Structure 1
Amino acid sequence: MSFSDKVASLMARPGQDPNAKDDVPWYLRYAGRGVGTVGGIIAIILGLVETLSLITMNISCLIGGILQVLAGFTLICFEAPCCCMFLDYVQNVSEWIDNRPYWNKAIIYVCISIPPVIFCTGLSSIFGGGLIFLTGVIYGMMALGKKATVEEMRANAQAGDQRGVPNANPPTSNTTSTNMRSNLVNNAQPMSFTGPPMFDSNV
């Protein structure tokens, strides 16, 4: 059993299909889950530290700390429901969010990471919200899909070169080329000259 298989068995949820249903690289999947779990815990701790600003009567940082604790708790519920086994509905919510596309998670995480920083721009809110934002960025990269292989990119570039071979009938000045090797001169549009403005001598 390889190291990646051991990590997969540790991070798998109960009843989860061991075979991935998409072509997302395994390291991105584990990075999203790991950064989300650790980032959620750190965001909750730093949010609780921010709520101590109640002593100095800093209400905006108190609101920012509460929002950061809620954002971290949301992240923990989505990414590591085993940490919230005392809540009955967390497993159902986590399974529902796991069945959604990755870009849904990315938007949710990016949106919940911004309000704490807006209310209290401090090191703890920036770091805690930054970890939540980083989790959203990772899921955004997962939503883009797997990068093409070198052979596929080379084949696409060669196909583009073959489409760009000049033919006997060059394009007229009114047509534009869609070839990836086209330059500005071939795609230049004709210029028109209207002449100098005419002045009325009666004015």
Structure 2
Amino acid sequence: MSGAGGAAAASASSLPSAQEEGMTWWYRWLCRLSGVLGAISCAISGLFSCITVHPLNIAAGVWMIINAFILLLCEAPFCCQFVEFANTMAEKVDQLRSWQKAAFYCGMAVVPIVISLTLTTLLGNAIAFATGVLYGLSALGKKGDAISYARIQQQRQQADEEKLTGSLEGEL
């Protein structure tokens, strides 16, 4: 048993954490907060979408309620204490890279809009989609500082000037 636990710990340590990806603590909490707010808006809008006789609206509403549950399960597992696998699933989702979370959350938010394009589905999935966008922005990384950018630009200019003077001297 100890061998399996050691292998699991070794594989978990090889995966990047949010700290290694360059996410600050406040940005991580912003992403989590937007995920929880997105889940709440999906759940409420999903309930309102289900109060109709149109089957596509009902399907979009059910999908939105499922999205709300998945978002809560991934971003705030303490809200789903009645689900036995909530903590393990949240740990597995935390091990994903930011771009994978972004694609998953944005994809989940787009499906109900494709099923039934109404104002309720648009507004209900907006915050869930924004959560995916926040994770996508964190995948891009931090912006460089102005000093290093100016140094790179200066090196490029010098290299271009050297090429230009070298080609002009060759013509003479």
Give the TM-score category using the shorter length.
0.7 to 0.9
* Cα displacement (A) at 1:84: 0.4
Aligned to 1:169: 167
Q: Is the CA contact 2:41–2:125 (under 8 Å) kept in the aligned structure 1?
A: no
* Cα displacement (A) at 1:77: 0.8
Q: Is the CA contact 1:50–1:124 (under 8 Å) kept in the aligned structure 2?
A: yes
Aligned to 2:35: 36
Q: Is the CA contact 2:21–2:139 (under 8 Å) kept in the aligned structure 1?
A: no
Letter of the 2:167 counterpart: N
CA displacement, residues 37-69 of structure 1 (integer Å, 9 cap, x when unaligned): 11111111110111111xxx2100000000111
Aligned to 2:95: 99
| Structure 2: segments with no counterpart, 5+ residues | 1-17
Q: Is the CA contact 1:25–1:146 (under 8 Å) kept in the aligned structure 2?
A: no
Aligned to 1:87: 83
Letter of the 1:168 counterpart: G
Aligned to 2:54: 58
Aligned to 1:70: 66
Choose between structure 1 and 2 for higher RCO, CA contacts under 8 A separated by at least 6 residues.
Answer: 2
Aligned to 2:23: 24
Helix, strand or coil at the partner of 1:159: helix
Q: Is the CA contact 1:103–1:143 (under 8 Å) kept in the aligned structure 2?
A: yes
Whether 1:124 aligns to 2:120 is yes
* Cα displacement (A) at 1:20: 3.0
Distance change >3 Å, CA 22–CA 114, structure 1 → 2: closer
Helix, strand or coil at the partner of 1:23: coil
* Cα displacement (A) at 1:100: 1.1
**RMSD after superposition:** 1.7
Percent identity between the aligned chains? 27
Q: Following the alignment from structure 2 to structure 1, what is the Cα–Cα distance between the partners of residues 83 and 24?
A: 31
TM-score, length basis structure 1: 0.70
The count of residues paired between Structure 1 and Structure 2 equals: 150
Whether 1:112 aligns to 2:111 is no
* Cα displacement (A) at 1:21: 3.2
Letter of the 2:85 counterpart: Y
| Structure 1: segments with no counterpart, 5+ residues | 1-18, 173-203
Q: Following the alignment from structure 2 to structure 1, what is the Cα–Cα distance between the partners of residues 143 and 92?
A: 27
Q: Following the alignment from structure 2 to structure 1, what is the Cα–Cα distance between the partners of residues 64 and 143?
A: 34
Structure with bigger helix share is: 2
Q: Following the alignment from structure 1 to structure 2, what is the Cα–Cα distance between the partners of residues 73 and 152?
A: 44
* Cα displacement (A) at 1:27: 3.8
Q: Following the alignment from structure 1 to structure 2, what is the Cα–Cα distance between the partners of residues 168 and 162?
A: 12
